[in-house]
Structure 1
Amino acid sequence: MSRRLSAHEQALWSRVAATVRPIAGKRATPAAPPPPQPKPPRIAPKSTIPAPPRLINPGAKPAKSVAGATLDGGWDRKLRQGDVRPDRIIDLHGHTLAAAHDVLAHALDDAHANGDRVLLVITGKGRADRPSRIRGELAHWLDAGAMRSRIASLRAAHPRHGGGGAFYLILRRQP
């Protein structure tokens, strides 16, 4: 089974191959020319329209992010040790961003209606060269809109529940 080399791998191989001498009596095979470099994307000129001024309310406190929201020590200890059992599991792995956002919104509505407190949200880890976009957007989705008022905190999941590719979502108690 073979695969094509990436442009970076091809450049590295060319550098290594240039340092090697052929065995006496053998002909050296010519190296394949490197592929043409793609043209850099054209950058549109900046708009000359000024941005609208931001209205600042000096008395308002900035809203805390769900990722930075605090819990009491008992909750944090249980989450760190993996002693919490999720009431509901939401698997967003493999969805598009739009579909994942919709699935998350519906699952939060259902969990809130059923009185669930701990949700395990599986986003996937991604790869080193291509991190998970859903994982990157999750905190932004939860901070915005009507979802924020229902959420107490967002924490990374214990390895037994998915580790870096999953999160515990703690919902607020219902009155």
Structure 2
Amino acid sequence: MKGRRLSEEEARAWAKVASTVKRIGPREASLPEFQAALEAGEAELREEKKPARKTPPRALSPEPPAPKVLVPPADRGREKRVRRGKLDIAATFDLHGHTQISAARALPGFLIAQQADGARCVLVITGKGREGQGVLRRNFLLWLESPEARALVSGYAESHPKHGGSGAFYVFLRRTE
């Protein structure tokens, strides 16, 4: 430790204390004695036991895996056209009131129907949920990665505040061939 120098009085006090200290000696010196006692059966090795837990550990629900983004986000040009009103939103699908399962079942049907009608852009309202981490919002991108949706969706983007902001997404559909 770097610091100030000791005064003469402090140095004398330190020297007096240091002169009373006895060296412990090398740690290995007692090891051969212990080995001999162990072989003779005079000593025994004890395993340390950890105290048992009072309560079993809580099982945490597994987090859904992060989506491997195979459906690319929308290109900025198309997203800007929707925000400015140059590209119409053909339909809106509101997931409020849906359970996770019913929303996962209804979304592909909605996208198929809209693509069949020739829609190019739809608005899907997921809701924000608590602190922006709602179940439907969190799983929306996972649903877009399903094989059915990948064949229909060319891109997506978070919506403009006038369309729902972070609680809604523009979904851009592929053209039918």
**TM score, norm. by length of structure 1:** 0.58
| 1:172 equivalent in structure 2 | 174
Q: Could you say which structure has the higher helix fraction?
A: 2
What is the alpha-carbon distance in structure 1 between the residues aligned to residue 165 and residue 56 of structure 2?
Answer: 37
| 2:45 equivalent in structure 1 | none
Q: Aligned residue pairs: how many?
A: 116
**TM score, norm. by length of structure 2:** 0.58
| 2:165 equivalent in structure 1 | 163
Distance 1:69 1:162, change over 3 A: closer
What is the alpha-carbon distance in structure 2 between the residues aligned to residue 102 and residue 120 of structure 1?
Answer: 17
Distance 1:123 1:172, change over 3 A: same
Confirm or deny: 8 A CA contact 1:154 1:169 kept in the other structure: yes
| 2:130 equivalent in structure 1 | 127
Q: Within the alignment, does 1:76 sit opposite 2:79 as a pair?
A: yes
Report the structure number with the largest CA radius of gyration: 2
Q: Within the alignment, does 1:100 sit opposite 2:103 as a pair?
A: yes
| 1:87 equivalent in structure 2 | 90
Could you tell me which of 96, 103, 112 is aligned with 1:109?
112
Q: Within the alignment, does 1:65 sit opposite 2:67 as a pair?
A: no
What is the alpha-carbon distance in structure 2 between the residues aligned to residue 147 and residue 76 of structure 1?
Answer: 19
Displacement of 1:80? 4.7
Distance 1:157 1:83, change over 3 A: farther
Q: Within the alignment, does 1:144 sit opposite 2:146 as a pair?
A: yes
Structure 2 gaps of 5+ residues are 1-54, 61-67
Letter in 1 for 2:113: D
In the TM superposition, structure 1's runs of 4+ consecutive aligned residues that sit over 6 Å from their partners are none
Q: Following superposition of structure 1 onto structure 2, how do residues 42-53 of structure 1 map, counting pairs within 5 Å?
A: 42-43=58-59
